[in-house]
Structure 1
Amino acid sequence: MSAQESKGPGAETEARGGPLAGIRVLDLTAVVLGPLATQTLGDWGAEVIKIETITGDLVRNSGVFRNRGMASVFLGVNRNKRSVALDLKTPEGADILRRLIPTVDVLVTNIRPAGMARLGFGPEQCRALNPRMVFAVATGFGQDGPHRARPAFDEIIQAASGLADIVGQEEGRPRFVPSLVADKITGMALVSAVLAALLHRERTGEAQLVEVPMLETMAAFVAVEHQGGHAFTPPIGEPGYKRLQHRKPVPTQDGWMTLLPYSSANWCAFFRAAGREELIEQLSVEDPVKRNAQIDRVYAAVAEIAPGRTTEEWLALCEAHDIPATAFSTIEDMPSHPHIAGVGLFQPMQHPSEGELRMARPPTRFAATPASIRRHPPRLGEHTEEVLAELGYGPEEIAALAERRAIRRG
Structure 2
Amino acid sequence: MSFAPLKGIRILDLTSVVVGPVATWRLGQYGAEIVKLESPEGDLMRGLGGMSPTGQHSGAYLHLNRGKRNICLDLKKPSARRVVEALVESADVIVANMRPQALERLGLDASTIRTKRPDKIYCLITGYGTDGPYAGQPTYDSVVQGVTGMAGLMLERDGAPGYIPMLICDHVVGEITAGAILAALLQMRSTGIGATIEIPMFETMATFVLQEHLAQQSFAPPVGPFGDLRLLSPHNKPVKTSDGWVSFTINTDPQVRSFLAATGREELVKDERFSSVAARAKNVGLWFSVRGAPLTGKTTSEWLSIFRAADIAAMPCHTLETLRSDPHLEAVGLFLKDEHPTEGSTIALRPSISIDGSYPSAGTPSQPKGWETRTILNDIGLTGDEIDELIAEGAAREATS
Please report the TM-score for the alignment, with normalisation by the length of structure 2: 0.94
Query: Which amino acid is the alignment partner of residue 276 of structure 2?
Result: D
Q: How many Å separate the matches in 1 of 2:331 and 2:77?
A: 51
Could you say which residue in structure 1 is the equivalent of 2:341? 352
Could you say which residue in structure 1 is the equivalent of 2:23? 37
1:169 Cα shift? Answer: 2.6
Percentage of identical aligned residues: 36
1:39 Cα shift? Answer: 0.8
**1:268, 1:285 within 8 Å by CA — same for their partners in 2?**
no
Could you say which residue in structure 2 is the equivalent of 1:288? 277
Aligned to 2:72, the other structure's residue is in SS state strand
Residue 24 in 1 paired to residue 13 in 2?
no
Q: How many Å separate the matches in 2 of 1:112 and 1:305?
A: 49
Provide structure 2 residue ranges, at least 5 long, that are not aligned to the other structure.
none
Residues 182-222 of structure 1: CA distance to partner in whole angstroms, max 9, x if unpaired?
11111111111111111111222221100110000110000
Could you say which residue in structure 2 is the equivalent of 1:224? 211
Query: Which amino acid is the alignment partner of residue 99 of structure 1?
Result: A
Could you say which residue in structure 2 is the equivalent of 1:58? 44
Change (3 A) 1:69 1:186: same
Query: Which amino acid is the alignment partner of residue 109 of structure 1?
Result: A
Query: Which amino acid is the alignment partner of residue 196 of structure 1?
Result: A
Residue 125 in 1 paired to residue 125 in 2?
no
Residues 77-113 of structure 1: CA distance to partner in whole angstroms, max 9, x if unpaired?
1111011111122211111111111221110000112
1:275 Cα shift? Answer: 2.9
Could you say which residue in structure 1 is the equivalent of 2:160? 173
Structure-to-structure mapping, 1:244-393, within 5 angstroms: 244-246=231-233, 247-282=236-271, 284-304=273-293, 306-367=295-356, 370-393=359-382
Could you say which residue in structure 2 is the equivalent of 1:242? 229
Residues 218-249 of structure 1: CA distance to partner in whole angstroms, max 9, x if unpaired?
10000111112221233332111111122111
Q: How many Å separate the matches in 2 of 1:269 and 1:16?
A: 44
Change (3 A) 1:368 1:391: farther
1:25 Cα shift? Answer: 0.5
Q: How many residues align?
A: 396
Residue 71 in 1 paired to residue 82 in 2?
no
Change (3 A) 1:353 1:283: farther
Could you say which residue in structure 2 is the equivalent of 1:189? 176
Provide structure 1 residue ranges, at least 5 long, that are not aligned to the other structure.
1-14
Could you say which residue in structure 2 is the equivalent of 1:143? 130
Q: How many Å separate the matches in 2 of 1:274 and 1:152?
A: 46
Structure-to-structure mapping, 1:83-102, within 5 angstroms: 83-102=70-89
Aligned to 1:93, the other structure's residue is in SS state helix
Q: How many Å separate the matches in 1 of 2:42 and 2:130?
A: 27
Aligned to 2:164, the other structure's residue is in SS state coil
Query: Which amino acid is the alignment partner of residue 34 of structure 2?
Result: V
**1:168, 1:175 within 8 Å by CA — same for their partners in 2?**
yes
Change (3 A) 1:283 1:64: farther
1:366 Cα shift? Answer: 1.6
1:363 Cα shift? Answer: 1.0
CA RMSD across the alignment: 1.7
Q: How many Å separate the matches in 2 of 1:338 and 1:16?
A: 27
Q: How many Å separate the matches in 2 of 1:351 and 1:221?
A: 36
Q: How many Å separate the matches in 1 of 2:359 and 2:300?
A: 37
Q: How many Å separate the matches in 1 of 2:165 and 2:306?
A: 32
Residues 121-142 of structure 1: CA distance to partner in whole angstroms, max 9, x if unpaired?
1112212443321000100002
Aligned to 1:191, the other structure's residue is in SS state helix
Residue 201 in 1 paired to residue 173 in 2?
no
Could you say which residue in structure 2 is the equivalent of 1:49? 35
Aligned to 1:135, the other structure's residue is in SS state strand
Aligned to 1:357, the other structure's residue is in SS state strand
**2:3, 2:355 within 8 Å by CA — same for their partners in 1?**
no
Q: How many Å separate the matches in 2 of 1:254 and 1:337?
A: 17
Query: Which amino acid is the alignment partner of residue 150 of structure 1?
Result: Q
**1:101, 1:130 within 8 Å by CA — same for their partners in 2?**
no
Query: Which amino acid is the alignment partner of residue 28 of structure 1?
Result: L
Could you say which residue in structure 2 is the equivalent of 1:104? 91
Single out whichever of 263-272 and 290-299 deviates more from structure 2: 290-299
Could you say which residue in structure 2 is the equivalent of 1:408? 397
Q: How many Å separate the matches in 2 of 1:16 and 1:258?
A: 37
Query: Which amino acid is the alignment partner of residue 237 of structure 2?
Result: K
Residues 8-31 of structure 1: CA distance to partner in whole angstroms, max 9, x if unpaired?
xxxxxxx97522222111000011
Q: Point out 4+ residue stretches in structure 1 off by more than 6 angstroms.
A: none
**1:260, 1:323 within 8 Å by CA — same for their partners in 2?**
yes
1:263 Cα shift? Answer: 1.5
Aligned to 1:108, the other structure's residue is in SS state strand
Residue 152 in 1 paired to residue 139 in 2?
yes
